Structure 1
Amino acid sequence: MFANEPFDRLARRLRVTDDNIELRAALEVLFPPEIEGQPVDRWLVDSLRNGNGDISPRLAVLLLHLARDHSPRPDAPVTALPLFTADTVQRAMTKLSDLSFYEVANDFKVAQTFVLNCRAGKLTNFTLSEVQQLFEGTEGKIGDQVRLLERLGFLERVVEQRGTQTRSTFRIPRLYTRCWDYA
């Protein structure tokens, strides 16, 4: 394997002792230093994180598979680093966003009417009172639907404190909304 120069460079970059540097080296091998104007590590966290602040290893691996599939020549030998261009990773992340959205809407089937209405209206930040009419009563109580969407990580509750008043809003993470920009 190490007779192949790109693999040898990859191995040398990954042979470091500090854990943080290992991660940085691995990211440098896979991705360009910046994507969409952000450092790659920040972009990955912002793009893959759900409303609970979690990043599923399954999604990270799926992103790598999709990036490979979206590469101009996915079966060609590696000749340069990083392995993926910014454009390739962006297209893969958009596909991952689309798959994640449809997982909530079609596989989990939680508050389907609301979820589909959010995509149709490209809603990302709102208060519950602003979107109550988007829920379907036959799918259960609105409060129960909201709690299930929060547990899934589709909705993130944002609590704002202004003096003595507290305001609760919701945000749909970029993991689910990225694909809305291209719908």
Structure 2
Amino acid sequence: MPRGQDARGRLLEVARRRFAADGTLAPTLEEVRREAEVSVGALYHHFPDKHALAAAVYAELIGEYQTGFVATLRDSDIAERGIRSGVTYHLRWVEQHRGEAALLLGDRLDSDALRQSNREFFAAVGDWWRPHHTYGMLRPMQPGVTAALWLGPAQEFSRYWLSHGETKLARSTVETFADAAWATLRANTIEEKI
């Protein structure tokens, strides 16, 4: 364990690895504490219980995921490319981060950090979305509805895929979900373009 890293960082690093490998129920706080090489006092100073530690890991993971998603959108100046890239990013992230994805696709662990991350994420997605809606390429953005239509099917498939132990996602699978998201979110009528 790197000694230069602070106690909180070491606890998060170990918990993230252990939770991703074994789920949040299996590792005990004591196991995480020992592996992180921190004192009992340091553990409880940063995380009063296992739920607080798991919520912090969850918020950290979702923040990293969202940062990559927003970067992908910002690299996509065309609406269709952005919608497809968002789905591709999601599915490839799940493929590359199996354990972490299983955590994020499980029970949502609410925290102030998660709420802040979500506010920033949806503001950034809205900033990307707005001009594409204004010039008539995308439907109006309704955060909950838009998120469900854009990534909901891919997320549900991700749960299925993770539970079946497959190691690779077929390109055709990614394209199927990207096609569906684009077909659902693009503006289809004159009224939607106004």
Which is richer in helix?
Answer: 2
Q: Which structure has more strand as a fraction of its residues?
A: 1
Give yes or no for TM over 0.5: no
